[in-house]
Structure 1
């Protein structure tokens, strides 16, 4: 992707250069602009907060943080009644979730899924299911973790076919606990939809099986909703839509509305085990973050907002599947929901075509002024389409029209 473009302003899903050249951002920045660029209501509240007070110690923001947390918990899945707002990014929120699980049960091993992404710190890099991230840090990363197969039905590692697969990918959890672990498996962390790994949507019944295994083996279930949370799938929490029934949920990215860093950890009441000094960051729960999160929750909670995302998400899925029908020689699969979709790019034999994927990303920017992102930081073969939640049906149509023009030239 070119680095020579300098954007000077943005509005909705559009970005503009100093020469008033217009680009469409089809991926919400880095999936963190749930309300798009420069949403006027959020901008107004932040301008006022900047004038009044930007930062004080978290010792003095407890009541405000509690109010914001309660506005999130109002929409949380059943049983999730407590939380923590001392984080600023998803990586540390996921670390905090593991800390909570480890302190709760006194164990220390972590399970995660292949192709998963849980952050960029040393710890969250170590528990993510993408080996390329760890390659340069093998001497500093903990090995108290294990990777089990993702529910990647399109490329099932067992060459099985849903629904007659017996959920073999979940059976691997039993195998690890029995043969690979040391009796100290504390938790399993998983995204409801694997975002960076390729927009992988689990099949029906998958999480029912996962929950049963976690209950049986006394494993804490952590739902990483850094990418899926706050309406991305058309539901406030994807965990609830999939009936995941997690013990702990992490949030970040979209919670800040227009790109303001903020994060939260939500959990069942029995997991309220941390002392403040055990997980707290200088900028965690700062006044700007809290103001942005509060206004974002207010907007996303309004009547009809999430229905708009669900309805337009159906349209987006139909349009993308129409492109698959037209360009099936290199679009192998289309999957997603709400405003979270992915196109799997393949070669003539159906194998992942990473070079073509990256070529699509580059040409979309250069020729169509369309900003896209690929899976696995350019190492993957999925083109991601995730506009801001405020995108209209006309915006969705424009994105797909530009994709059509691009694909017709490949």
Structure 2
């Protein structure tokens, strides 16, 4: 017999017991209410128990919960059409036979390898593309790879476009986008000469909410074309409205060769993910990347309802408006509190970087702020699994202006408590 349920659950869990969620709020068994500033695990794009998503799941459950993906179903067919209509025009294939973001990213890489006949993959410093052995190996964080002696071969990481802490010690107005141009050196001296793909998040998720400078992604697109390299956008976190556009690719005006989606596609927590690909990446035999619960009809029905809501212009406009409002308030706070080194983001994908005097990362303070947030009614998450110094502000996309102010007021209270 175990002493407590916490001893029986393999991974660490809080003593807090959550019992109900509604909109942007979640409630514990003592009746305390919290604003979820992380949208669950960034997957509750429409918040908790959105009525349209719940109704879609209930209706679908009455007829067909699951059938093998070898057959067509109405919910999957509808979702495929929605995704193609919303995606960049060059992406005309949808692969839904995956269960989560890690599998979607790994599948896109397999497509690139199959299409090019090459095997190596480039990712960025601080990158995080999943939890499978392949995607763990692609991570730009040594601490994630350290426990595993057998890593996927053929991956290399290059500096990310982190202007605040530029790897090359440059300034954006004079750097000439060295973080793209110097990839040539990695191809020449660090690779095996067989690079199939570059995979990156348009805005880094776990890596610290790094927003690339103007021109970076268009130049990277050109670089990939010059070297016949497949460009994959991991939009597991940035996609499905998070940046105020359906895909972050739109915000930056770039057409990648593939986009991976997941998390927010399920609206209120349905487990679904997918790969959007161009014609060049078509042709990978299904048996090379197919998972039991991929293309699930129940999850697809939830995603269809989610897409219908998020695709409305007024919905996306509200994401941009509330995101801009939070950014303005946090930048005003930054002017008054030097512990905030940077505020950056697009739409409702926002990061607040905390620093020590002199500018060094304030990792301990960042974790303490997130820990104390619970006492102020905020669920907060930090970058790099607690190794980073960025607080991630990514509430459900249904956020109102008043609720945005609730977040900013609470954040200021807990920050002042931590630094006092």
TM-score (norm 1): 0.97
Within the candidate set 47, 64, 73, 1:36 is matched to 47
Q: Aligned residue for 1:309?
A: 319
CA distance in structure 2 between the partners assigned to 1:256 and 1:27 by the alignment: 15
Q: Aligned residue for 1:286?
A: 296
Q: Secondary structure at the match of 1:120?
A: coil
1:349 paired to 2:354: no
Q: Secondary structure at the match of 1:223?
A: strand
CA distance in structure 1 between the partners assigned to 2:241 and 2:166 by the alignment: 28
1:229-259: per-residue Cα shift (whole Å, max 9, x none)? 0000000000121122200110000000011
Q: Aligned residue for 1:118?
A: 129
Q: Aligned residue for 1:322?
A: 332
1:343-397: per-residue Cα shift (whole Å, max 9, x none)? 10111121001100000000111x2021000000111000010110001011100
Q: Aligned residue for 1:52?
A: 63
CA distance in structure 2 between the partners assigned to 1:34 and 1:306 by the alignment: 12
- CA drift of 1:212 comes to 1.2
Q: Aligned residue for 1:27?
A: 38
Counterpart contact for 1:327–1:407, Cα < 8 Å: no
Q: Over the residues paired in the alignment, what is the CA RMSD in angstroms?
A: 1.2
Within the candidate set 224, 233, 258, 1:248 is matched to 258
1:407 paired to 2:418: no
- CA drift of 1:326 comes to 1.6
CA distance in structure 2 between the partners assigned to 1:168 and 1:284 by the alignment: 40
Write out the 4+ residue segments of structure 1 that deviate beyond 6 Å after TM superposition. Answer: none
Counterpart contact for 1:239–1:246, Cα < 8 Å: yes
Counterpart contact for 2:373–2:411, Cα < 8 Å: yes
1:184 paired to 2:226: no
Within the candidate set 275, 286, 300, 1:276 is matched to 286
Q: Aligned residue for 2:377?
A: 369
Q: Aligned residue for 1:165?
A: 175
Q: Secondary structure at the match of 1:58?
A: coil
Q: Aligned residue for 1:150?
A: 160
Q: Secondary structure at the match of 1:200?
A: coil
- CA drift of 1:303 comes to 3.4
CA distance in structure 2 between the partners assigned to 1:67 and 1:180 by the alignment: 44
Q: Secondary structure at the match of 2:147?
A: helix
- CA drift of 1:63 comes to 5.5
Q: Secondary structure at the match of 1:136?
A: coil
- CA drift of 1:183 comes to 1.8
Within the candidate set 359, 362, 368, 2:368 is matched to 359
Within the candidate set 377, 382, 388, 1:380 is matched to 388
Number of residue pairs matched? 407
CA distance in structure 1 between the partners assigned to 2:249 and 2:146 by the alignment: 31
Q: Which moved more, 1:150-159 or 1:261-270?
A: 261-270
Q: Secondary structure at the match of 1:181?
A: coil
CA distance in structure 1 between the partners assigned to 2:166 and 2:124 by the alignment: 13
1:32-84: per-residue Cα shift (whole Å, max 9, x none)? 10000000110111122223221111122355423211101111112112121
Q: Please list every run of 5 or more consecutive structure 2 residues that lacks an aligned counterpart in the other structure.
A: 1-11
1:309-353: per-residue Cα shift (whole Å, max 9, x none)? 11111111101111211211x110000010010110111121001
Q: Secondary structure at the match of 1:334?
A: strand
CA distance in structure 2 between the partners assigned to 1:405 and 1:182 by the alignment: 52
Q: Aligned residue for 2:3?
A: none
- CA drift of 1:21 comes to 1.4
CA distance in structure 1 between the partners assigned to 2:229 and 2:386 by the alignment: 33
CA distance in structure 2 between the partners assigned to 1:163 and 1:188 by the alignment: 25
CA distance in structure 1 between the partners assigned to 2:281 and 2:381 by the alignment: 36
Q: Aligned residue for 1:202?
A: 212
Q: Which moved more, 1:391-400 or 1:168-177?
A: 168-177
Counterpart contact for 1:149–1:172, Cα < 8 Å: no
Counterpart contact for 1:107–1:186, Cα < 8 Å: yes
Q: Please list every run of 5 or more consecutive structure 1 residues that lacks an aligned counterpart in the other structure.
A: none
CA distance in structure 1 between the partners assigned to 2:92 and 2:68 by the alignment: 25
